[in-house]
Amino acid sequence: MQIRDWPADERPREKLLSRGVATLSDAELLAVFIGSGLRGESAVATGQRLLLEAGGLRPLLDRPPGELAGLRGLGLARACSLAAALELGTRHLASQLERGEALADPGQAGRYFARKLRALPHEVFACLFLDTRHRVLAYEELFRGTLDGAEVHPREVARRCLALNAAAVIFGHNHPSGNGEASAADRAVTSRLKQALNLIDVRMLDHFVIGDGPPLSMAARGWV
């Protein structure tokens, strides 16, 4: 059965319009993007198959456009469009942080770190530098490591804070393994960074750990 033969309130586009985009499953979202499935396969069925073959949404969308283009049901045009849509999402998040307004929602920073760092195959430690009103001055990836670690130097972080005249910072780093929990080493380096930044009157607002699930806020856990 094709999607046009489904009840109107179950079709992905109509469901999106009437109930909101968040109500759609991963396969339904892909179906809206794909538009039409292969012969004998609805767009939703194509989305379900792509997710199953890739092992989930993240492994599917983390693939470069060249690999996406080789998947049955996508092709070059859709792969390029999908890559462009993902980049638009990243830039939309960035524009919200860069438009000069104070950062009022800590989760916004977590989502930004997730979009920037989650797909990387190596660990990266990054920082959002903020002014006295918590407006973003800069985003920088300060340290790059290996699959399971990156060496962080508080002295270098402090130097960048002084160079940018930052009053506050939010840190984020990824776990390429997908483990979204903070390790003992993560908590130790957070403590060292806080001590170093206190000496130059820079506030650490949060440190996000990026794994497969939602970003973990160390401030929410009481570790900042």
Residues 6+ apart with CB under 8 A from 41: 49, 73
Model pLDDT, residue 9: 63
**Whether the model pTM is above 0.75:** no
Per cent of the chain over pLDDT 70 is 90
The string of pLDDT tens digits covering residues 14-64 is 888 878 878 888 888 888 888 777 777 788 888 888 889 888 887 888 888
Domains defined along the chain, listed by start: 3-91 (no CATH), 100-217 (3.40.140.10)
DSSP symbols for 119-177: T-SS-EEEEEEE-TT--EEEEEEEEE-BTTB----HHHHHHHHHHHT-SEEEEEEE-TT
Taking only the tens place, the pLDDT of each residue in 89-145 is 877 777 766 656 677 777 888 988 998 898 888 899 999 999 999 988 999 999 987
Please tell me which residue, 93 or 199, carries the higher pLDDT value.
199
Banded pLDDT at 7 (limits 50, 70, 90): low
> What percentage of the chain exceeds 90 in pLDDT?
37
